[in-house]
Amino acid sequence: MGIIEILAKIGLVIPSAPRPVRRPSLGRRLMYTGLAVLAYILLSSTPLYGIERAGQLQFSPIIAIVLAMTAGTLAQLGIGPIVTGGLILQILVGAKIINLDLNDPEARKNFTLASKGLGIILAVVEALGFVISGIYWTFPHTVSIWIKLLVFVQLLWGSIVIIMIDEAIQKGWGLGSGVSLFILIGVAQKIFSELLSPYSFQGQAIGLIPYLVDALRNGALNIYDFVIGRLMLGLPTLTGLIVTIILIVIITYLTVAKINVPIVLTRYGGIRSRVPLQLLYVTNIPVLLTSILISDIILILTLLRNIINIDVDSIRIYLSPPTIYHFIVRPLPAVVYTIIFFGLCVLFGILWIEIGGLNPEAQAENLVKAGLDIPGMRRSTKILATYLARYIYPLTIFSSIIVAVIALVGDIFGSFGTGTGILLAVGIVYNYYQILAYERTIEMYPLLRRLVGE
């Protein structure tokens, strides 16, 4: 029995919702999606029983957004276990370390179950890490073993519920995926907090609007602080708000931009047409995978801090998104992070097209099966792949660099929700727009359901 089969059996331990016999209506799927959002908000708002502190956990905001984590709550582990498990298996399969044909329905089913099983194992490991590290208590050694066990059970239960919700949505009960939905919720919460939060930090309101109102009411508005100065304290500024709006516009434009590859439809009398390739060919995947990897490293180091006595802060500054202030005060860590971030984004971009069926060979095979040819070229998979490689690999590197630049620029200028969060959120919203447009069209024209095989 291989590793995939073993992990798949572990994945069966958690009950899962069956696939709907008939496709639910759009209204019903929207209702279930809303219930999933409500369930996640409840999980992220329910504090863990038995802990002394939660707000003192020193995690970067990017970790909370990318892994959909909320410190000290039932959603403490967030989507970390499930996305990390899936990422590990995708890399192993893509690198041919695990031989698995994902085009085979049965193999894909086992892969999905194996991702779930590995997610459960990682949830157990992470929950143990949070408890053993003692970061919830001032004096961990004085805390009863039963209290620690209770906290462990709560952490594991919250993670399992999130895994079950994500699986139910992907099986057709909701729209999109639970992972995307939870990331979007986290980004939205972060943006609204930075814009409207009335809470104070070092004598200043955190939210930009409450800060402006307080400053105007007291007649003590500092234009420099309001425009950019508060960024030194990690607080939102007017510059961050402007950059956020600009980035949303740019990302939206780049998301819909296409590059057309000329083709010939031989089975229809040689009609000339074009195959559109998305300008952001790898979308936001490189930034997402890079952020997940960096977040997992910081999370592991933080949990091991009290166990192996390492100086996490000296390492974390090289793995934390820099702002303008950081480039001025500590340029070396900021430059090192930038180089690491760019390198990982390009690496993950290339890796993703290879394991995601987006490489030239896979695209050429799809063209041949569809009866499409490149004008002036012999109908051969190898020749087509060589031709498409001129477009696909430069597009992959270009789009990986572009999304990395967008994420970094957002972080540098203090955009609301972080640069990575804005990039992920816009991509997720656009994906939901496409899903809703498709579902609405299918409901309006039932005949199309048969044509697309649903």
What's the CATH number for 243-454?
Answer: 1.10.3370.10
Per-residue pLDDT of the chain (454 residues; tens, 9 = 90+): 577 778 888 888 888 778 888 878 888 888 999 999 999 999 988 888 888 776 545 566 777 787 888 888 898 888 888 888 887 887 777 667 777 766 677 777 788 888 888 889 999 988 888 888 778 887 878 888 999 899 999 999 999 999 889 888 988 888 888 888 898 898 888 898 889 888 887 778 888 888 888 888 887 788 888 888 888 888 888 998 999 999 999 998 888 877 776 665 555 555 566 666 777 777 788 888 888 888 778 777 777 766 666 666 777 788 888 888 888 888 898 899 999 999 999 988 888 887 766 777 777 777 666 666 666 556 667 777 777 777 788 888 888 999 899 989 998 898 888 888 898 888 889 888 888 888 777 777 666 566 555 5
Distances in Å between the Cα of 261 and the Cα atoms of 264, 273, 277, 354 are 10, 9, 7, 20
Phi, psi of 197 (to 5 degrees): -60, 125
CA distance 194 to 189: 9
How distant, in Å, are the alpha carbons of 66, 433, 435, 453 from that of 365? 34, 29, 26, 22
**CATH 1.10.3370.10 residue window(s) in the chain:** 1-13+25-196, 243-454
What pTM was computed for the model? 0.82
CA distance linking residue 136 with residue 303, whole number of Å = 11
Could you tell me which CATH number the domain at 1-13+25-196 has?
1.10.3370.10
